[in-house]
Amino acid sequence: MKIAAVLSALLLGPGLALAQSVPAPDASRSRELVRMVRQDCGSCHGMRLTGGLGPALTREALADVPLDSLAAVIFHGRLGTPMPPWRAMLSEPEARWIAQRLQQGFPEEMVKAP
């Protein structure tokens, strides 16, 4: 099943009404979020985000996925799947910032092993 179909089936939570563009977190928090994507997301989606237990999170794989849907999955998780909600560790704008970075193609230095 294509990730776009899976994500588009997700109903957006009422609390995820986010602005179109979210400012980047401060430098320290940005580093923390990048590390989270590399370590935590990479543990299921592959260390290079090319897929594993979870689907690929590359720019190409996410090309047809609405930004709000991707941010909702990051924030709320996907019930009945291994995808956990990250709302205990992220704010909604941070989930959207990560979603935007993923859709733009997370820079190589952000996905390669430390």
Instruction: Write out the residue range of the structural domain in which residue 34 sits.
Output: 26-111
Q: Considering the domain boundaries, does residue 11 fall inside one?
A: no
Q: Which CATH number fits the domain that encloses residue 101? A: 1.10.760.10
Which pTM does this prediction carry?
Answer: 0.76
Q: Considering the domain boundaries, does residue 83 fall inside one?
A: yes
Alpha-carbon span 25 to 85, nearest angstrom: 20
Alpha-carbon span 21 to 40, nearest angstrom: 24
Query: Residue 108's pLDDT is what?
Result: 58
- Pick from 94, 19, 100: which is nearest to 65 by CA? 100
Q: Considering the domain boundaries, does residue 105 fall inside one?
A: yes
23-47 CB burial, b ≥16 within 10 A, e <16: eebeeeeeeebbebbbeebbeebbe
Each residue's pLDDT tens digit in the chain (114 positions)? 344 333 333 333 333 333 356 788 999 999 999 999 999 999 999 999 999 999 999 999 999 999 999 999 999 999 999 999 999 999 999 999 999 999 999 865 544 444
| Number of structural domains in the chain | 1
Q: Considering the domain boundaries, does residue 14 fall inside one?
A: no
Q: Considering the domain boundaries, does residue 19 fall inside one?
A: no
